[in-house]
Structures are given as structure tokens and as C-alpha cells.
């Protein structure tokens, strides 16, 4: 099975990114042909600083490699290093209807909130479709909020195939586990947008302070509490082994504990869970030439496949004879 997904380099990954998506991407590299790219062209719709975009892209590569992406089992590359995708995007855009793109939630949400929406955001789903179709991807792991964009990709592929003959593999979305919704420091879903995120690789002391400041209710220590639905318990569950989690649940139901104990347990468990990736990231950060080599090799492999698909599409629609 050929799998593809992209990660926007718009900031450092947090716990929600990892448990909600990255961990599952990494699992999918086993036994599949996997392509993962750093979506720097997509990031241009919001990041308007060249140095920041370059640094974010490099950091994204470090983060993914440190968290377990294996370049020997998956193809990792930077989106802009495969220009064939942008050319395929135009072929798809020439047949994309305005109505299809106007219905996309990412665009509609910004417009409804009075926020500036550029042409890049409007045509974002077409470039995303080109990203997917360039590699004959069969499965695209996404969150529920991105399913609509995969449907747009399917519509564009099927329309092209209808007009010009069978050219593209029509992909299917694989919706990532809804159970992986990770609460932030305010108890709401963890998100950079809500300023409630705990970054995976932020320094340990500031991270621990952030954890200790997580919002809690005012129930007295002696009161028994139901663990299910409690955001501190949910955070601990992300990291804890079953015996430790069962012990924490029993403590909740007994009562007689302070939330500070739970926060300390979360901080300790998170530090241990990400200790190996932290060490690996530091090692990779000291070898920028190695990271550049991995990305260059990934781009070379990606271009080979994308070139084959682009030529197939060019021949089908008549821009090449």
C-alpha cells in the first residue's frame, strides 16, 4: 500500500500533533511504501519570513527523524524540492471549478471570520491534490478536518480521468484515531492556535513549569473523582503503561490526593517517554549535513515517481505528444 502525508512547517510539534498524527504516520511506514513531505509551499499562505520558513523546514525534518521516521523505510523530502508537483497542480487547477473550492471549510472559515484569505489558501486543496496524486498514493492519513480536502482530490482525479482517460490513482482517506485528542493546558483540545500547547522538544524546566500550571477544578483533595473525562488523567494516559494508568485511576476514585501529584506524574512520564527522541534530535542537530543528505535523497526518489506521474498526465491531456 502506498501512503502519503505532509506536515506544515509552521511551528514546533506539540503533544497533540504527536499522539493525534505523527505517531500514526510513523507506524504506517512499516510494511507500506510511505512518502512524507515537509509542506513548505503550503506554509507560504501564513509564513511570510524567508529565514523563518527555512528554519521551520529544517526543524520539521529534525523532529520527524528524531520521533522515529526512518529514511530507509520511508521517503522524506521537502515539498518545494519536487517542482513536478507544482506543474501538476496547474493541470489540475485548469479543470477545478470555483464552486468546489469555495465550499472548502478552510477557506470558508477564514472568510466568515473576516480574516484575510489569499489565493494560496483558496487553491490550497488543488496543490494538496497534486501532492497526493504525484505519487500514486492509495491512502492518505488525515484528521477529520482534512477529509473534505481528500474528497476534493478524489473529485479532481476522477474528473481528469473522465476527460482524458485513466491517469490517476484515486486515493482514499484514512481518518486518524479520534481518541488521540489531547487536552491542552486549559483543558481544551491542544492547539497552537489556542496557545495551550506543550511542545515535544521544549526545554524540560519550562515544560515542567507549564505542566504544573495546567488549569484544574477546585474540588477538595479528599473528594473522590472519576478519572474518565478528567483532562489531567487523559494527559497521563498518553504516556503511561497500563499498570501505572490503572494505579492512577484507583487513586482518583479513592480521593485524598492533590492535582499537583498528577501533574508531577505527567511531567515525569513525558520526560521519560520522549527521552530517546530528545537525545536523537540533539545528535541530528549537530549533523546538519546528514539531514540535508537525507532530504536530498528523499527528493531524488520523490522526483522520480512524480516525474513519471506528471508525464503520464501531460501525455493524457495533450500538453506533450
Rounded CA-CA distance 314/321 in Å is 8
Report the distance separating Cα 321 and Cα 249, nearest Å: 67
CA distances from 103 to 23, 93, 203 (A): 31, 15, 41
CA distance 228 to 39: 36
3-state class (DSSP) for residue 36: strand
Give the Cα separation of 306 and 85 in Å (integer): 7
How far from chain centre, in Å, is Cα 21?
A: 5
Catalytic residues: 110, 189, 192
Helix ranges, the chain (H): 15-17, 23-28, 40-43, 50-66, 84-93, 98-102, 105-112, 119-122, 124-133, 147-164, 204-212, 231-239, 242-254, 259-273, 275-285, 288-317
Rounded CA-CA distance 40/306 in Å is 17
**Residue 68 CB coordination number (10 Å):** 16
Amino acid at each position: 500500500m502506498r501512503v502519503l502525508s505532509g506536515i506544515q512547517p509552521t511551528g514546533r510539534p506539540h503533544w497533540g500533533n504527536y499522539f493525534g498524527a505523527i505517531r500514526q504516520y510513523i507506524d504506517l511506514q512499516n510494511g507500506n511504501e510511505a512518502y512524507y513531505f515537509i509542506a513548505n509551499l503550503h506554509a507560504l499562505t501564513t509564513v511570510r519570513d524567508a529565514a523563518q520558513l527555512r528554519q521551520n523546514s529544517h526543524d520539521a525534518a529534525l523532529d520527524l527523524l528524531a520521533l522515529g521516521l526512518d529514511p530507509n523505510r520511508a521517503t522524506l523530502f521537502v515539498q518545494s524540492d519536487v517542482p513536478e508537483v507544482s506543474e501538476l497542480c496547474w493541470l489540475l487547477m485548469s479543470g477545478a471549478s470555483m464552486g468546489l473550492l469555495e465550499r472548502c471549510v478552510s477557506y470558508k472559515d477564514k472568510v466568515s471570520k473576516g480574516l484575510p484569505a489569499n489565493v494560496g489558501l483558496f487553491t490550497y486543496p488543488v496543490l494538496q491534490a497534486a501532492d497526493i496524486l504525484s505519487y500514486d498514493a492509495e491512502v492518505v492519513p488525515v484528521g477529520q478536518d482534512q477529509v473534505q480536502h481528500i474528497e476534493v482530490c478524489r473529485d479532481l482525479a476522477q474528473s481528469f480521468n473522465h476527460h482524458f482517460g485513466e491517469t490517476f490513482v484515486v486515493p482514499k482517506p484514512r481518518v486518524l484515531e479520534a481518541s488521540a485528542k489531547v487536552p491542552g493546558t486549559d483543558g481544551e483540545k491542544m492547539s497552537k492556535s489556542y496557545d495551550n500547547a506543550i511542545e515535544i522538544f521544549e526545554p524540560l524546566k519550562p515544560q515542567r513549569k507549564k505542566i504544573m500550571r495546567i488549569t484544574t477544578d477546585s474540588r477538595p483533595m479528599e473528594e473522590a473523582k472519576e478519572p474518565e473525562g478528567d483532562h489531567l488523567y487523559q494527559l497521563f494516559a498518553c504516556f503511561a503503561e497500563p499498570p501505572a494508568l490503572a494505579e492512577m485511576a484507583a487513586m482518583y476514585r479513592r480521593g485524598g490526593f492533590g492535582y499537583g501529584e498528577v501533574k508531577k506524574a505527567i511531567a515525569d512520564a513525558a520526560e521519560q517517554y520522549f527521552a530517546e527522541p530528545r537525545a536523537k534530535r540533539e545528535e541530528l542537530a549537530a549533523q546538519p549535513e546528514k539531514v540535508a543528505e537525507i532530504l536530498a535523497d528523499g527528493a531524488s526518489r520523490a522526483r522520480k515517481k512524480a516525474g513519471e506521474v506528471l508525464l503520464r498526465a501531460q501525455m493524457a491531456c495533450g500538453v506533450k505528444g
